[in-house]
């Protein structure tokens, strides 16, 4: 017998549960962007027996977590009355299988949803498929509107962005108290500003993006690896992309060496401007890089719009920008940064330009300031209308 939702919880209770789930889901907003934040619960005999959230971009959606959690309670599936979701379930295959399949497979007889999928290409499809399979569907529209629960997702679905897609771009940098990206001479081996906890956190972030983008200035100054190391996920390391107009990347760069034991590195792409030395092009390819000449160049180097389009065409949806002040400010000026993570270490002074002025100019529509180890961390989504400096 179908135990309808009416017998388990009243509408006001469902509404307040949805609001509570929506609020809790936003805890993960910086981890899941550009995906929406989603919360889920399963009810049995009118009580919440499990909660689940979308916690990490590219990994399990809220539906998967909530079903796993409900299984762990030992309460048999026949006694699960309803699945409550802040957002209509997905029907398409992205980084993970469609949630609709998991819902149907669970045999749950009722699904309560607090908002429709805002993407016109999928809107209503999840609910139609549930109904077609005989599942009771309750839509409490706009109890958990995207504008409140995941405003960044609306940015992602912006018409202009759908027309000319580009990856979600997270700019991450470490700065001294004066906003400089290079420590004073003799401090941190000339490189390290943030503490060990932050360095570990960056490894986790690297394991959750499709590409790391940097500039030749950083490659020449630091000879970085841009690999993923524990506690980051080593299973699918991001591509490493160097913007290098004139192919100054040395073929002996550490980036091009086989990653050491216990670390993983994605393929290396060097993006130059057309007409760069064919000799250096060949030497880099022999060293293992993939060199891509770009037709359009500006005084500032490789055209960033073309870079963003190219990254999208390579399948990159979430990209981490780890560059020096020159490329970083050019990205910010161009309006291509969606999210920032800034570590301010306990270092006074420094060398080179300060990002302090930029930070003062940026406008956030969501922002948190937190402490992490010895560092202060600012994390936020940039406001669409105020990204450019
Ligand atoms: N603290 C941190 O988080 C952090 C992170 C990274 C680097 N750093 C430090 O930053 C310093 C290097 O700074 P940087 O500003 O020289 O390096 P960068 O921003 O990494 O690289 C700049 C170079 O990228 C090339 N480029 C290609 N296309 C570009 C475009 N569209 N816009 C801008 N640049 C483009 C340009 O050289 P071409 O014209 O030759 O192509 C430019 O000189 C190093 O000392 C490094 O240690 C610090």
CATH number at residue 188: 3.40.430.10
> 233 lies in a domain?
yes
The band of 97, judged by pLDDT with boundaries at 50, 70 and 90, is confident
Amino acid 385: pLDDT: 62
Distance 242 CA to ligand 1 centre (A): 9
> 156 lies in a domain?
no
The band of 1, judged by pLDDT with boundaries at 50, 70 and 90, is very low
Pocket test of ligand 1: the residue of 174, 216, 220 to mutate, having most ligand atoms within 8 Å of its CB, is 216
Task: Please tell me the least confidently modeled range out of 5-14, 159-168, 264-273, 343-352.
Answer: 5-14
Cα separation, 249 vs 291, in Å, equals 11
Distance 314 CA to ligand 1 centre (A): 23
Among the candidates 96, 123, 151, a domain finishes at 151
> 325 lies in a domain?
yes
243 and 347 together in one domain: yes
Of the candidates 31, 63, 88, 201, the residue annotated as catalytic is 63
pLDDT in tens, 290-305: 999 987 766 779 999 9
Among the candidates 151, 175, 197, a domain finishes at 151
169 and 145 together in one domain: no
| Per-position DSSP letters for 71-139, written without gaps between them | HHHT--GGG--EEEESSPPP-S-SSS--HHHHHHHHT--EEEESS--S-TTTTTHHHHHHHHTT-EEEE
Cα separation, 241 vs 233, in Å, equals 19
Q: How many structural domains comprise the chain? A: 2
Q: pTM (2 decimals)?
A: 0.94
Helix and strand counts by DSSP (H, E) for the chain: 14, 18
Q: Is 63 a catalytic residue?
A: yes
pLDDT in tens, 215-243: 999 999 999 999 999 999 999 999 999 99
116 and 238 together in one domain: no
107 and 217 together in one domain: no
192 and 308 together in one domain: yes
129 and 210 together in one domain: no
> 205 lies in a domain?
yes
**Ligand 1 pocket, residue 342 CB under 6 Å:** no
Pocket test of ligand 1: the residue of 292, 294, 327 to mutate, having most ligand atoms within 8 Å of its CB, is 327
Amino acid 6: pLDDT: 53
- Asked if the model's pLDDT at residue 325 lies above 80, the reply is yes
- The more confidently predicted of residues 172 and 96 is 172
> 57 lies in a domain?
yes
227 and 359 together in one domain: yes
Mean pLDDT of 153-172: 92
Task: Please tell me the least confidently modeled range out of 22-26, 148-152, 204-208, 311-315.
Answer: 148-152
The band of 389, judged by pLDDT with boundaries at 50, 70 and 90, is very low
Amino acid 134: pLDDT: 95
CB 186 within 8 A of CB 366: no
> 158 lies in a domain?
no
142 and 168 together in one domain: no
CB 238 within 8 A of CB 211: yes
Three-class SS of residue 174? strand
> 100 lies in a domain?
yes
- Asked if the model's pLDDT at residue 269 lies above 90, the reply is yes
Cα separation, 88 vs 162, in Å, equals 20
Mean pLDDT of 178-192: 87
140 and 190 together in one domain: no
Question: Measured from the CA of 303, which atom of ligand 1 is nearest?
Answer: 31
Highest mean pLDDT among 1-10, 29-38, 117-126: 29-38
- Asked if the model's pLDDT at residue 369 lies above 90, the reply is yes
Mean pLDDT of the chain: 92
**Ligand 1 pocket, residue 300 CB under 6 Å:** yes
Amino acid 127: pLDDT: 96
> 382 lies in a domain?
yes
In sequence order, the 6+-apart residues with CB closer than 8 A to the CB of 48 are 17, 41, 42
312 and 170 together in one domain: yes
Amino acid 2: pLDDT: 43
Structural domain boundaries enclosing 190: 164-386
Among the candidates 126, 151, 176, a domain finishes at 151
122 and 177 together in one domain: no
Bond prior to 34 in cis (omega within 30° of 0): yes
279 and 130 together in one domain: no
CATH number at residue 121: 3.40.140.10
**Ligand 1 pocket, residue 169 CB under 6 Å:** no
In sequence order, the 6+-apart residues with CB closer than 8 A to the CB of 28 are 37, 53, 54, 55, 56
């Amino acid at each position: 017998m179908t135990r309808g939702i009416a017998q388990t919880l009243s509408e006001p209770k469902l509404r307040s549960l949805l609001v509570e789930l929506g609020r809790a889901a936003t805890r993960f907003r910086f981890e899941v962007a550009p995906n929406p934040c989603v919360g889920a619960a399963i009810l049995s005999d009118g009580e919440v027996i499990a909660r689940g959230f979308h916690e990490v971009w590219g990994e399990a959606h809220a539906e998967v977590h909530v079903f796993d959690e409900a299984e762990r309670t030992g309460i048999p599936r026949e006694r699960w009355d309803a699945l409550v979701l802040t957002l209509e379930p997905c029907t398409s295959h992205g980084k993970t299988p469609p949630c609709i399949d998991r819902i149907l497979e669970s045999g749950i007889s009722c699904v309560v949803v607090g908002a429709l999928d805002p993407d016109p290409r999928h809107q209503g499809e999840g609910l139609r498929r549930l109904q077609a399979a005989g599942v009771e569907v309750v839509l409490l529209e706009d109890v958990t509107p995207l504008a409140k629960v995941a405003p960044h997702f609306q940015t992602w679905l912006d018409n202009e962005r759908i027309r000319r897609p580009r990856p979600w771009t997270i700019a991450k940098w470490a700065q001294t108290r004066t906003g400089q990206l290079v420590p004073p001479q003799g401090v941190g081996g000339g490189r390290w500003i943030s503490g060990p906890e932050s360095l570990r956190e960056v490894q986790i972030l690297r394991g959750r993006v499709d590409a790391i983008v940097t500039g030749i200035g950083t490659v020449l100054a630091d000879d970085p690896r841009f690999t993923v190391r524990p506690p980051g996920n080593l299973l699918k390391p991001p591509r490493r992309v160097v913007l290098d107009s004139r192919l100054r990347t040395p073929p002996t760069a550490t980036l091009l060496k086989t990653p050491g034991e216990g670390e993983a590195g994605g393929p290396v792409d060097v993006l130059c401007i057309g007409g760069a030395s064919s000799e250096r092009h060949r030497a880099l390819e022999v060293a293992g890089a993939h060199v891509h000449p770009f037709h359009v160049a500006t005084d500032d180097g490789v055209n960033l719009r073309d870079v963003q389009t190219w990254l999208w065409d390579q399948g990159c949806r979430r990209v981490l920008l780890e560059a020096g002040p020159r490329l970083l400010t050019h990205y910010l000026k161009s309006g291509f940064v969606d999210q920032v993570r800034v570590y301010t270490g306990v270092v006074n002074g420094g060398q080179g330009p300060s990002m302090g002025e930029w930070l003062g100019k940026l406008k956030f529509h969501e922002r948190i300031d937190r402490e992490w180890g010895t560092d202060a961390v600012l994390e936020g989504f940039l406001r669409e209308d105020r990204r450019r400096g």
